[in-house]
A and B are shown apart, each in its own frame.
Chain A
Amino acid sequence: MKLRNGIYLLFLTFFILACKKDFVQLFEGFQKPSNFPEPVYKFQHNIITKPGFELGRKLFFDPILSLDNTISCASCHIPTSAFTQHGHNVSHGINDLLGTRNSPPIMNLAWSNSFMWDGGIADLDLQPIAPITNHVEMGESMTNVLTKLKNNSTYKPLFKAAFGSEEVSNINVLKALSQFMLMCVSADSKYDSVMRNQKSFSIEEKAGYVLFQNKCNSCHKEPLFTDNSFRNNGIQPSNIDDIGRELITLLPTDKYKFKVPSLRNLEYTAPYMHDGRFLNLDAVLDHYNKQVIPTSNLDPLLLSNGFTGVSLTADEKRNLLSFLNTLNDRKFITNPLIAEQ
């Protein structure tokens, strides 16, 4: 009897071990969620491979990319905060320097056709150069990054595995970072399960969803919850008077416009707005309900029906918050594949 139990136990252990091994080696590459549109990233220029993704992940979490080796990409893009800098209104760089804008989440970037709050960058592969070389973020030069990586013996085999050559090149550094960021796909919220007919909304969530579709969906378009456009949502310009999109296009008609952020993972990405001025979602809804200021280029959608902003009763707010909660994707922020190894 004991022997039989022992054999069972042995089999079970083997089974678990085999499972674990499978889990570690499992890499499905980039998968488009069934309820998502086609991605816009040009994958033909940068085919995602397991070693490429893993190299990108190592780079993403490595402070070697900053001038004094203290700040990594993950410093301002923390996985458990849906890749934002939790608790910081604006990003915090080397030497305690502060930027002027709130770290946006790194998620579903394959569907984004522009990057940064002002959309100044059009290609994900070129995006990392901005924070690496920005004096108040990582403050480093790409040439130095390259030298440091070349002198670091752990990277050579990783580059060889990812790109077939031990040569550490800037193009491959950037491509690897893109591969990691593209794999940060958040599509496992309750909302997604409902859309895939696996779960259903509660009464409150359902009422909030109907409200959302009436009052929010034109800018925060499903299923990505952004239409990737630039709009002025009527927040009071701050003391630094950040003009937003106008910095890029030089068009006065773009003054105070910022990229519409996704509403996914709101629970983990506070504070809100381009400068992180609102600490919680109540403050955000209060803004739309009562505090919208008709500054230059205020979005016309916030001026409909003779009301400035979005009118919301207390019940409507509660229902809306219930719905917004269904956009949180706990699997995404706890996914070991995209966490620091």
Chain B
Amino acid sequence: MNQLLTISSLVEFIIHAVNWPICIYLPIIHKSGLLILLFIFQIMKKLLFIAIAMSSMFYSCKKDLVAQYNANIKAPLSIEFDNTMGGTDLQLSTATYTNANNELFKVTMLKYFVSNIILTKIDGTIYTVPQDSSYFLVDESKPATLSPIINVPEGEYTQIDFILGVDSLRNTKDLSQRTGALDPTGEAAGMYWSWNSGYIFFKMEGTSVVSPQINNVFQYHIGLFGGYSAPTLNNLKKVSINLSVRGIAKVKTGSTPNVHLLVNAMKMFNGNSNISIASNSVVMASAFSAKIADNYTNMFQHDHTEN
């Protein structure tokens, strides 16, 4: 800003300097002509001021861009997973929703793993978040989990890619590499199949009068990473979010830009297959899980970025 002020005062000075000779000539000009001339000069003065001010502004902006980001320094970036149901904010346990099969339901739990985050800069360079800091369990009932923060090199980012779930390699690692969000005995306790050694990638539970289960519950626990020794179903999904349309993320030390994603959980029900709670009230490790995984991959939409 200081720089801009200096340039503005310089412009003022130039205009004043230009004005001086006009003032000298003023007495010898006809009265009516004088008024016209004054008017023209006033406009010219303004135009000149605007032109010089604007160019100086552009100049200062451009200069800032070059100096502003230091790719050697990392700064925080927040990714907000704002879970919704259709066009409304998701309300656990209270609100009633209707899916494409006209089934009324309530949601009591929504959790999913986001991992292996990769970011693309405006110049095309790619930054892969170190894997050990790249596993997040988003849990609608825990507000602190909804906006994970990652540290990335300063710069302007146009794309975020991540895996919805826990990659197959990590699913086979020893205990020392299953800490934090991945601790099957702690944070990930409800997101791990002890009998089938693998993480649950996505979990939605709720109730619906159309469910034939006890207490009308429905449960969708979707996992399966492809198998340890024998190949099996792989429900790992890659999600790609383009930020260039609704606001790139400008990462710079001193602030925490927030990429605000709307995560429409209704898409788990409605999509390539319209999932019916009456017909498939409980889906876990079965072939049908692939249909649900195909649907929920489309939940994520970039809304805006708060820089």
Contact = CB atoms under 8 A, between A and B. Distances in A.
Interface of A: 42, 45, 113-114, 116, 119-123, 125-126, 129-130, 133-134, 141-143, 145-146, 170-171, 173-175, 247-251, 254
B280 interface: no
Contacts of A174: 175, 185
Contact of B174 (A123, A133, A247): A123
Interface stretch (B44-52, B61-69, B223-231): B223-231
Nearest to A254: B230
A120 B184 contact: no
B7 interface: no
Given A130-B195, A171-B175, A113 B229 contact: yes
B233 interface: yes
B185 A129 contact: yes
B286 A250 contact: yes
A122 B186 contact: no
Contact of A247 (B184, B227, B285): B285
Contact of A170 (B183, B195, B287): B183
Given A45-B174, A122-B172, A175-B175, A249 B185 contact: no
5 closest pairs, A vs B, by CB?
A142-B185, A170-B185, A130-B194, A122-B228, A129-B194
Nearest to A146: B185
Contacts of A145: 185
B19 interface: no
Contacts of B100: none
Interface in B169-226: 172, 174-176, 179, 183-186, 189, 192-197, 224
B230 A121 contact: no
A168 B17 CA distance: 80
Nearest to B184: A129
B189 A134 contact: no
B189 A120 contact: no
B42 interface: no
Given A126-B175, A170-B186, A249-B227, A120 B232 contact: no
B230 A251 contact: yes
A250 B172 contact: no
Interface string B113-135: 00000000000000000000000
Interface residues of B, number: 27
Contacts of B227: 248-249
A130 B189 CA distance: 11
B184 A250 contact: no
Given A125-B175, A171-B176, A134 B285 contact: no
Contact of B232 (A42, A113, A170, A249): A249
A145 B184 CA distance: 13
B54 to A, nearest CB: 62
B232 A251 contact: yes
A126 B285 CA distance: 19
Contacts of A126: 175, 184, 194, 197
A248 B196 CA distance: 6
Contacts of B189: 133, 141-143
Nearest to B193: A120
16 contacts: A42-B174, A45-B174, A45-B175, A114-B228, A123-B172, A126-B175, A126-B197, A171-B179, A171-B185, A247-B285, A248-B232, A249-B227, A249-B232, A250-B233, A251-B230, A251-B232
B229 A45 contact: no
A341 to B, nearest CB: 25
Interface-central residue, B176, B193, B196, by most chain A CB under 10 Å: B196
A120 B197 contact: yes
A71 to B, nearest CB: 16
Contacts of A171: 175-176, 179, 185
A341 B27 CA distance: 117
Contacts of A45: 174-176
Interface-central residue, A113, A170, A247, by most chain B CB under 10 Å: A170
Nearest to B172: A122
B186 A116 contact: no
Interface string B282-305: 000111000000000000000000
Nearest to B173: A123
A170 B231 CA distance: 30
B197 A125 contact: no
Contacts of B286: 250
A173 B174 CA distance: 14
B113 to A, nearest CB: 17
A143 B185 contact: yes
A125 B230 CA distance: 20
A5 B165 CA distance: 78
A229 to B, nearest CB: 10
Contacts of B197: 120-123, 126
Contacts of B196: 120-121, 247-248
A134 B185 contact: no
